[in-house]
Amino acid sequence: MGILSSLFAPRKKVAPTPVRDLAAFRAEVADSDLPVIVDVWSESCAPCRQLAPVLVDVATRHEGRVRVVEVSADSEPALIARLKVRATPTVIIYERGEELGRVAGLSPGSWFDEMIEAEFPEGSS
């Protein structure tokens, strides 16, 4: 593959990692070396469906810098209780297992880019 092909070749999309129980939450979020964006969604939520491709794009563009995981509102009740989510979509930001903040509702990709740049500057780890 030539240099131009490598520069302009379509990048493989990175899907958010599904987390369905407390054990997976510990492994993917609480014990993560990377900051984690947690998307709590529900099947019947139209804004959740709109947010899904935004988070695939965020996970793809920021691969290796942040991790994106998704939690269905139908997941293990103990996990949903721990997250204390009242509405979907809710996005929760974690670093080193600690919640830094959350936002409910649909956020554009630019919001995620600005938040990542502000909270997790390149080379700060």
Catalytically active residues, by annotation? 45, 48
Query: Cα dist. 35→43, 49, 57, 71, 110 in Å?
Result: 26, 23, 16, 16, 18
Q: What is the DSSP letter of 26?
A: I
Which of 125, 101, 104, 98 has the alpha carbon at shortest distance from 115?
A: 101
Sign, Cα dihedral of 75, 78, 82, 85 = positive
